[in-house]
Amino acid sequence: MKKITLFLSAMLFSVMSFAGVVTFDADVDQGNASTDSKNAAAYQITKDGVTIEVSSGILGTYNSEMHYRIYKNQTLQITSTVGNITKVEFTCTANDDAKYGPGCFTVDGGDYTYAGPVGTWTGSADAIVFTASSNQVRATQVVVALETTITGVEDVVTVEVPVKVIENGQLMIIRGENVYNVLGAQVK
């Protein structure tokens, strides 16, 4: 009984606060395509409430190469309207602080580390600005992890109730003479 009560409490908590992940893949998600670096400009891509935007670069195909380019001394801003960003992971075309690698980025706030072709920012913010300080950065993928909280849920009270598992594997909540399914609909 205690395990089922804890399980139902955990389900309620997971509904109230959950992490989401938005992946920008240069093969699929493109803000512009170019065959000429003179077409570099400010571009953005918005997906599932998260926006990546370069101040000057290319977010798409360049001479049939699929990657995002953030030119030297330019920025990549990541913003979210669906909850704070807790982690950003870049997969780049070069390793560490070599030209095009994740070590060419600097960022104010949070913690930023890199190893090989992967750069990782952790923290909590609704907007983050990465600057390609030492060289151009080229990324094939940007993965953004979010923490979102559902608002408008107030005065949640947990109550221990008898729970019964019936033959077809469904959980039933028994309260007095009434029987309810896990969605709260009365079944008996």
- The reply to whether 156 falls in a domain is no
Nearest of 112, 75, 108, 57 to residue 90 by alpha carbon: 112
Count the domains in the chain. Answer: 1
Q: Looking at residue 130, what is its pLDDT?
A: 98
pLDDT of residue 112: 98
CA-CA distance, 55 to 30, in Å (whole number)? 15
pLDDT at 171: 72
Question: Mind listing the pLDDT tens digit for each residue in 57-112?
Answer: 888 766 677 889 999 999 999 999 999 999 999 999 999 999 999 999 999 899 99
- pLDDT surpasses 70 at 176: yes
Let me know if residue 181 belongs to a domain.
no
By mean pLDDT, which of 30-39, 93-102, 162-171, 177-186 is the weakest? 30-39
- Would the pLDDT of 167 be above 80? no
* Residue 63 placed within a domain: yes
Burial class (CB in 10 A: 0-12, 13-18, 19+), 6: exposed
Could you tell me the pLDDT band of residue 10, with boundaries at 50, 70 and 90? Answer: very low
Nearest to 19 by CA among 148, 135, 108: 148
Does any domain span residue 36?
yes
**Whole-number percent of the chain with pLDDT over 90:** 50
Tell me, what CATH number does 38's domain have?
2.60.120
Is 174 part of a structural domain of the chain? Answer: no
Range of the domain at 111: 18-149
Task: Kindly state the percentage of the chain with pLDDT values over 70.
Answer: 70
DSSP-assigned beta bridge partners for residue 45: 52
Domain assignment present for 80? yes
